[in-house]
């Protein structure tokens, strides 16, 4: 495992993560462009450290148009008392802070997607530098990571946790237990098809227990989803023994799913969607229409499902282009020890 000293990161941090107490500071991303020639792009970091116990990293805003996670984490920063903590909680409510500020999925500084930038590059662009910092400096400090996402402006996800839950490994077992404590209706089982440039992949490389959650979407902040996220994170802190309380306050049954190939639009058109997240659909079932709003005499295209399964996510767009997501359909699978 790489230590802080061994990392060649150019990114600095103005708090001492080894110190006991409540610290609020910045990860300092120096880049020097027209907007920020001599200062730095700040990424807020909050560290609550008290006594012995595991270290958990809680991240939101990896994508800057996904707000339920950052909202839940901001609530926790204000609610969590140092006296309640056994271990260390490191919170990055807006890991891609410039993107969150701009309500943008990708960084407005270099237009890169942070969750496709791992393992990053110490000498790369700001997003690549941050990915490298997280993978080589922050992750080696941690035992557990929870990364909070939604579908952003472009899509809506059924609440789910994405995790590698191979029951043959202690890491897979730890991830499954953490996923059960988070307790979304669906457990999206990570496999070899999942992108190896994500934070989840970085945690797996470092052999750190991790779940990523997808919690709705649309680019705003749904209050019921923010509430769910806050209580789900608290359940995980209880489960890990970082805060007191029981992690058996939940009794939801998680359905395990594998993702199939994304179903994308065959043409430019107005998407008239006739289904919702969580719907169970079958091949050939009517899914909606694609209307050619600029050519009203052209017959609308009838959309039919080409895969049977559960709607895990769908487009949040009215107008779609060829290749844009219509829906992500998942199929049920079984995971040892799930229920």
**Contact residues for Zn ion, defined by CB under 5 A:** 63, 66, 149
> Cα–chain-centroid distance for residue 234?
17
Q: How far is the CB of 290 from Zn ion (least distance, A)?
A: 26
Contact 101, 85 (CB under 8 A): no
Angstrom distances, CA of residue 169 to CA of 107, 142, 144, 186, 204: 35, 19, 15, 21, 12
DSSP string, 210-236: EEEEEEEESSS--HHHHHHHHHHHHHH
Q: How far is the CB of 198 from Zn ion (least distance, A)?
A: 10
Q: How far is the CB of 83 from Zn ion (least distance, A)?
A: 33
The nearer residue to Zn ion, 113 or 285, going by C-beta atoms, is 113
The nearer residue to Zn ion, 66 or 255, going by C-beta atoms, is 66
Sequence-separated contacts (24+) of 169-173 with Cβ below 8 Å: 171/204, 171/207, 171/209, 173/337
Q: How far is the CB of 238 from Zn ion (least distance, A)?
A: 25
Q: How far is the CB of 12 from Zn ion (least distance, A)?
A: 26
Cα separation of 163 and 102, whole Å?
A: 29
The nearer residue to Zn ion, 102 or 301, going by C-beta atoms, is 102
Closest CA to 238 of 85, 92, 68: 85
What values do phi and psi take at 238, rounded to 5? -65, -45
Q: Strand, helix or coil at 151?
A: coil
Q: How far is the CB of 98 from Zn ion (least distance, A)?
A: 15
Angstrom distances, CA of residue 264 to CA of 158, 202, 324: 18, 28, 5
Q: What are residue 162's DSSP bridge partners? A: 188, 212
Length of the chain: 339
Cα separation of 30 and 39, whole Å?
A: 7
The nearer residue to Zn ion, 66 or 247, going by C-beta atoms, is 66
Q: How far is the CB of 66 from Zn ion (least distance, A)?
A: 5
The nearer residue to Zn ion, 63 or 239, going by C-beta atoms, is 63
The nearer residue to Zn ion, 189 or 199, going by C-beta atoms, is 199
Q: How far is the CB of 162 from Zn ion (least distance, A)?
A: 10
The nearer residue to Zn ion, 85 or 99, going by C-beta atoms, is 99
Angstrom distances, CA of residue 231 to CA of 18, 36, 54, 189, 335: 27, 37, 19, 22, 25
The nearer residue to Zn ion, 272 or 324, going by C-beta atoms, is 324
The nearer residue to Zn ion, 262 or 282, going by C-beta atoms, is 262
Q: How far is the CB of 113 from Zn ion (least distance, A)?
A: 9
> Cα–chain-centroid distance for residue 80?
22
Closest CA to 232 of 256, 216, 208, 219: 216
């Amino acid at each position: 495992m790489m230590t802080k000293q061994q990392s060649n990161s150019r990114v600095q941090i103005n708090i001492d993560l080894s110190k006991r107490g409540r610290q609020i500071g910045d990860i300092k991303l120096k880049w020097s462009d027209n907007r920020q020639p001599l200062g730095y792009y700040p990424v807020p970091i909050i560290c609550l450290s008290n006594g012995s116990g595991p270290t958990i990293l809680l991240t939101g805003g990896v994508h800057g148009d996904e707000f339920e996670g950052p909202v839940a984490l901001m609530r926790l920063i204000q609610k969590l008392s140092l006296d309640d903590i056994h271990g260390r909680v490191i919170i990055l409510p807006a890991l891609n802070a410039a993107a969150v500020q701009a309500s943008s999925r990708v960084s407005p500084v270099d237009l890169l997607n942070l969750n496709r930038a791992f393992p990053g590059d110490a000498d790369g662009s700001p997003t690549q530098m941050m990915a490298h910092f997280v993978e080589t400096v922050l992750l080696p400090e941690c035992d557990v990571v929870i990364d909070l996402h939604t579908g952003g402006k472009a899509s809506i996800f059924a609440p789910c946790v994405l995790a590698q839950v191979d029951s043959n490994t202690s890491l897979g077992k730890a991830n499954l237990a953490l996923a059960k404590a988070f307790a979304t209706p669906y457990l999206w089982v990570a496999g070899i098809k999942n992108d190896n440039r994500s934070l989840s992949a970085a945690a797996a490389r470092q052999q750190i227990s991790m779940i990523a959650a997808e919690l709705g979407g649309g680019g705003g902040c749904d209050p019921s989803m923010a509430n769910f996220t806050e209580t789900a994170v608290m359940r995980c802190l209880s489960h890990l023994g970082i805060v007191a309380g029981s992690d058996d306050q939940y009794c939801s049954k998680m359905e395990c799913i594998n993702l199939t190939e994304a179903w994308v639009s065959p043409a430019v058109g107005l998407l008239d969607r006739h289904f919702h997240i969580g719907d169970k659909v079958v091949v050939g079932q009517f899914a909606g229409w694609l209307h050619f709003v600029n050519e009203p005499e052209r017959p609308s295209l009838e959309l039919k499902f080409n895969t049977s399964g559960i709607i895990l996510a769908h487009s949040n767009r009215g107008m779609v282009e060829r290749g844009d997501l219509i829906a992500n359909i998942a199929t049920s699978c079984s995971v040892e020890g799930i229920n």
